[in-house]
């Protein structure tokens, strides 16, 4: 993780980078120290990330440029443009998952494998849902995840299509599979184990 001292320095550094992150933090603030520590820990377990930080005790132009009024805030950039702001201090695991997801999506975008329509219907408390999503990520399969506990309309549509209320369910190019039926998933997605 590299410290930056000005807006101009940061803009020059990220020029040409597909994805980069900037933590705006105040070194005299406990939450700022918390965010810095969590991100440093997450960065150590995820290679290839462009992560920077700026201490608002010394840098006064970055937060104004991007209209950031809360510190700490992690700014996510894609192609040099601000795409997302994550406020506050989060756990090391949160940042690790964020960085791993960015790497996963970059690999999918650069992949030569044919694109398929894959939708996973899940809930946050379903362990098999997590297993299914991890399996798809390991095999570089891009998918949309729909939390049916938060989307009543999607839950009703799923029951109408499959006749089942349980999760996970996966829609692969229009075919619904209930549960983590690895053999059928592998067959439809062309995954060779």
Q: Which domain holds residue 182?
A: 118-189
Let me know if residue 24 belongs to a domain.
yes
The residue from 108, 127, 150 where one domain ends is: 108
20 & 91 share domain: yes
Q: What are the pLDDT digits (tens) for 36-53?
A: 999 999 888 777 789 999
In this prediction, residue 143 has a pLDDT band, given cuts at 50, 70 and 90, of: confident
| Domain CATH number, residue 145 | 3.40.30.10
Residue 130 falls within a domain, yes or no?
Answer: yes
Number of folded domains that form the chain: 2
Confidence of residue 138 (pLDDT cuts 50, 70, 90): confident
- pLDDT of 106 reads 52
Instruction: Compute the average pLDDT of residues 60-70.
Output: 91
Residue 111 has pLDDT above 70, yes or no: no
49 and 104, same domain (yes or no): yes
Instruction: State how far the Cα of 18 lies from the Cα of 108, in Å rounded to an integer.
Output: 14
Question: CB-based burial of residue 125 (10 Å sphere; 0-12 exposed, 13-18 middle, 19+ buried)?
Answer: exposed
Contact criterion met (CB below 8 Å) for 91 and 38:
yes
Average of per-residue pLDDT across 137-143: 85
Same domain, 84 and 136: no
The answer as to whether 113 is a domain residue is no
Mean pLDDT computed over 8-14: 94
pTM of the model: 0.57
96 and 20 part of one domain: yes
Structural domain includes residue 149:
yes
Same domain, residue pair 24 and 78: yes
Which residue in the block uniquely carries the two structure tokens 């000005």? 6
């Amino acid at each position: 993780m590299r410290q930056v001292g000005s807006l101009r320095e940061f803009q020059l550094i990220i020029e040409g980078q597909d994805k980069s992150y900037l933590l705006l933090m105040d070194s005299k603030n406990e939450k700022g120290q918390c965010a810095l520590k969590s991100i440093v820990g997450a960065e150590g377990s995820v290679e290839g990330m462009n992560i920077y930080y700026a201490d608002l005790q010394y840098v006064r132009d970055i937060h104004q440029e991007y209209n950031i009024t809360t510190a700490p805030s992690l700014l996510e950039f894609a192609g040099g443009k601000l795409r997302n702001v994550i406020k506050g201090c989060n756990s090391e695991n949160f940042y690790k998952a964020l960085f791993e997801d960015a790497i996963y999506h970059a690999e999918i975008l650069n992949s030569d494998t044919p694109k398929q329509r894959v939708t996973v219907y899940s809930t946050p408390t379903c362990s098999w849902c997590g297993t299914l999503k991890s399996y798809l990520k390991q095999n570089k399969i891009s998918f949309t995840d729909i939390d049916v506990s938060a989307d009543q309309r999607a839950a009703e549509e799923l029951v109408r299509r499959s006749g089942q209320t349980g999760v996970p369910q996966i829609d692969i190019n229009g075919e619904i599979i209930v549960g983590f039926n690895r053999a059928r998933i592998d067959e439809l997605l062309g995954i060779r184990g």
